[in-house]
Amino acid sequence: MAAANHKDEAYLATVIPKRIQLFETIKAQQNLHRLSLLSDPIKITLPDGKVKEGKRWATSPLDVAKEISKSLAANSLISEVNGVLWDMTRPLEGDCELKLFTFENDEGRDTFWHSSAHILGQALEVEYGCKLCIGPCTTRGEGFYYDAFYGDLGLNEDHFKKIEAAATKAAGERQPFERIEVTREQALELFADNSFKANKTITVYRCGPLVDLCRGPHIPNTSVVKAFACLKASSAYWRGNKDRESLQRVYGISYPDKKRLEVISPNMYNMQLWETSGHAANYKENMFVFEIEKQEFGLKPMNCPGHCLMFQHRVRSYRELPLRLADFGVLHRNEASGALTGLTRVRRFQQGFHMSVTILWREYYARALDIIVDSDKFSSNVLQDDAHIFCRESQIKEEVRGVLEFVKYCYDIFGFTFDLKLSTRPEKYLGELATWEKAEAALTEALNEFGKPWQMNEGDGAFYGPKIDISVSDALNRKFQCATLQLDFQLPARFELYYSAEDEAKREAPVMIHRAVLGSVERMFAILLEHYKGKWPFWLSPRQAIVCPVSEKSQQYALQVRDQIHNAGYYVDADTSDRKIQKKVREAQLAQYNYILVVGEEEANTGQVSVRVRNANDHSVMGIDGLLAHFKAETDAFH
C-alpha cells in the first residue's frame, strides 16, 4: 500500500468527497426512519433526583443542559445515559437517568482528547493523504495520538506547524461530530480505499471532511477545542506486530482554554519542599520566609521544585520524554537592598512571555511574541521563557543544542549578539563528583557542536549542576546576563523522579534542564530600553503611527485613516486636539511615534496622507494602500 509524501490532490478530490456522500446518504435514511417513530414523552432523571420531561428520539442531553443553564450547556462535553456514555447531541431513546460531564471530569477529558484525535486525524489525512489507522486518547490519561500509514514520508517536528494549522482551522469551522450506525457492508464501502479500517465497529462519526469508524462518543463540535499542539512523532507497528506495516504515530495535546497549555504553580510552598530540593540549606537567605499556623513557608524564588512535583504526580514513560514544562508564575527573591538596580535586579519578577504580565510590557512586547510564535522554525509549545526539560541522558545533547538555537533565534530578532560561558562545579555543591563530570562533559560537547566560541567559567555553576551562561551585548556593546541553561542531575534524585524504560520492569531517572531565554521580563525590558534608547523599531513599537489633522475640517478624514490603519493590525493614534499642526507634529516626535501622518483638506480630497518619519524633517505623500504596504514591508524586513 502506498501513500503520497505530499498533499494528494486526487485523494482529496475523489476519496474524501465520496466518503462524505455515502455518510450523508446513510444519515438521511436513518433520520427519515426516526421521523416515522412516535415522539413519545419520556422522563429524564438527573443526579439530584429532579425529573425533566422530553420526547423520545427528539430530546438530546444538550437540550436538557440548555434547559438547566447556558453555562452548563456550554461546558458539558459528554453525558451518561443509564450508565452508557452518550453524545450530547444524540437523541434520547426512552426514560433514562442522565449525567453530564465537563472537562473537569475524567469522562469529559477522555472524550475531549478522543475527539481531538479525530481533529488530528483530519489534519493528517487532508495534509498528507495518509491512511488513518486508530486515534484514541492516551492510556496514560493526558492527550491523544493518531497512527497512520504514510508510505515513505517520515514525519518530524518540522511538520507540526502545518498539522497544527490544519487542526486549528477545523476547530474554527465549528464542525459538528455526527454519528450514524452502519452495517459491515456499508463500512467496507465507506473505507474501500483503507484496509486498516476493516473491522467490526458498527458506528461511524463525521467531523468536517473526516469520516471515521469509531465507537464514540464525542464532544458536540470542534470549536470546543481552543488550544491544540503536536507533541512528538514516533514509529509504531499496525496492531503492535513488528511483522505488519510500519506506521507513524503523532502525539498531541489539546484544551478547551489556551491558558491550560501553561502550567502555573503556587506562589508559596511549605519549607519541607525547599528542604527536599536543597534550597533550604543552600538558598534560604535569599528567600522570603514566614510562618503560618506554626509551619514555615517560603515564597518561591524559582519554579523548578514545583515542576518536579508535576513530573512526579504519576508514572511517566520514556515515550513522554523530553517533557517540557513552562511556568508563568511570579518569583520573589530577597535581594540585598544594595544589589537592587532599576528593572535589571528586583525582588519580585516574572519569567515568561505571558501577555498579561503588565500593561507596559504587553504594549511593547506583544509584537515580538507574535513574531516568535508565528515562526516556522520553533513550535509554540516550547516558546515560554522559564522552562524545565525532563529528558533522558541520550537526549541531553540534542535538547541543549535546541535551546542554544532557540536563544540565537530570539536574540537575532532584537539584533543582539551574545557570549557563551560554561560555568563548572562550585565549592558548595550537591551530588557526586562523577555526576558533575558527566554533566560538564555533555554541555561541553553540545557547545562545541553549536559552533559558536565559548569560554570556561570555573567554579561558577549552580549548587545542583553546571550551566551555560549567556550574556547579550546591546548597541553600545554593554553586556547583560539574561539567558541561562542549567543541567541538573540532583533535583531528579532528591525528588526520586523516575520513568519507565523500554523494558517496563526497569526504571530510570530523568535529567532536568533548567532553561530561560529572557532571564526575566523586567530585565529584558530594561535592556531593550537601553538598546533602542527609547526609539523602538517600527515592528516592535507601541506607537507606530499617529494621524494629525491640520484643522477641524480634516478631522473626520483623520479618524477614517486611523481606523483603516488600525483595522490593518497596526498601533495608531489620532491627535484631535485644537493645537496648531506644528505643535502636534513636535509632540508626536517627542513621543517617539515612528510615523507622523499629517492630513489636511487636500489629503482628504485625494485620499492620501503626508508622511513624516521620526526624527526627519522631510516628508512624502502616499495613498493609504501604499502606506499599509510600506508598513508591512518594514514589519517583515527585520527577519
Grid cell locating 116: 481531538
Q: Does residue 103 carry a pLDDT above 60?
A: yes
Class of domain 116-261: alpha beta
Give CA–CA dist 404/453, Å, rounded: 13
Average pLDDT over residues 601-613: 93
Confidence tier at 635 by pLDDT (50, 70, 90): confident
How many CB atoms neighbour CB 191 within 10 A?
Answer: 22
The CA angle 559-561-564, to the nearest 5 degrees, is 110
Give CA–CA dist 347/54, Å, rounded: 60
- The reply to whether domains 37-101 and 268-532 share a CATH topology is no
pLDDT above 90 coverage of the chain, percent: 41
Give CA–CA dist 251/233, Å, rounded: 6
Confidence tier at 239 by pLDDT (50, 70, 90): low
Tens of pLDDT, residue by residue over 30-80, are: 888 877 776 789 999 999 999 999 998 889 999 999 999 988 999 999 999
Q: Does residue 213 carry a pLDDT above 70?
A: yes
Q: Does residue 383 carry a pLDDT above 50?
A: no
Average pLDDT over residues 391-418: 86
**What does the domain layout of the chain look like in residue ranges?**
37-101, 116-261, 268-532, 545-637
Greater confidence, 273 or 489? 273
Active site residues: 304, 333, 351, 386, 388, 467, 514
For 96, phi and psi rounded to 5 degrees?
Answer: -160, 165
Give CA–CA dist 555/561, Å, rounded: 10
Compute CA distances 299 → 288, 325, 467, 521, whole Å.
6, 20, 24, 19
For 242, phi and psi rounded to 5 degrees?
Answer: -65, -15
Q: Does residue 521 carry a pLDDT above 80?
A: no
Instruction: Return the pLDDT at 368.
Output: 38
Confirm if 264 and 310 have CB atoms less than 8 A apart: no
Average pLDDT over residues 103-121: 92
Helix axes 160-172, 106-128, angle to 10 degrees: 120
Confidence tier at 227 by pLDDT (50, 70, 90): confident
Greater confidence, 374 or 228? 228
Instruction: Return the pLDDT at 55.
Output: 92
Fold of 37-101: Ubiquitin-like (UB roll) (3.10.20)
Q: Does residue 373 carry a pLDDT above 60?
A: no
Average pLDDT over residues 275-284: 88
Give CA–CA dist 109/121, Å, rounded: 18
Instruction: Return the pLDDT at 371.
Output: 35
Q: Does residue 526 carry a pLDDT above 60?
A: yes
Output the pTM of the full model: 0.62
- Alpha helices by DSSP H, listed for 47-105, are 61-68, 70-75
Instruction: Return the pLDDT at 60.
Output: 95
Instruction: Return the pLDDT at 355.
Output: 31
Tens of pLDDT, residue by residue over 334-359, are: 888 888 887 778 888 777 543 322 22
CATH 3.30.930.10 fits 268-532, yes or no: yes
Instruction: Return the pLDDT at 345.
Output: 81
Greater confidence, 12 or 4? 12
Q: Which CATH number fits domain 545-637: 3.40.50.300, 3.40.50.720, 3.40.50.800, 3.30.470.20?
A: 3.40.50.800
Instruction: Return the pLDDT at 202.
Output: 82
How many CB atoms neighbour CB 279 within 10 A?
Answer: 24
For 185, phi and psi rounded to 5 degrees?
Answer: -65, -40
Instruction: Return the pLDDT at 72.
Output: 92
Instruction: Return the pLDDT at 326.
Output: 80
Instruction: Return the pLDDT at 198.
Output: 61
Instruction: Return the pLDDT at 374.
Output: 35
Instruction: Return the pLDDT at 163.
Output: 92
CA nearest to 148, candidates 135, 137, 136: 135
Give CA–CA dist 621/610, Å, rounded: 4
Lowest mean pLDDT, pick from 117-131, 138-152, 301-315, 496-510? 138-152
What is the average pLDDT value for the chain, to the nearest integer? 84
Tens of pLDDT, residue by residue over 290-326, are: 998 899 999 998 888 999 998 998 888 887 888 888 8
Average pLDDT over residues 323-332: 81
Instruction: Return the pLDDT at 88.
Output: 96
Confidence tier at 520 by pLDDT (50, 70, 90): confident
Tens of pLDDT, residue by residue over 430-447, are: 788 888 888 899 899 999
Instruction: Return the pLDDT at 367.
Output: 35
Average pLDDT over residues 369-376: 36
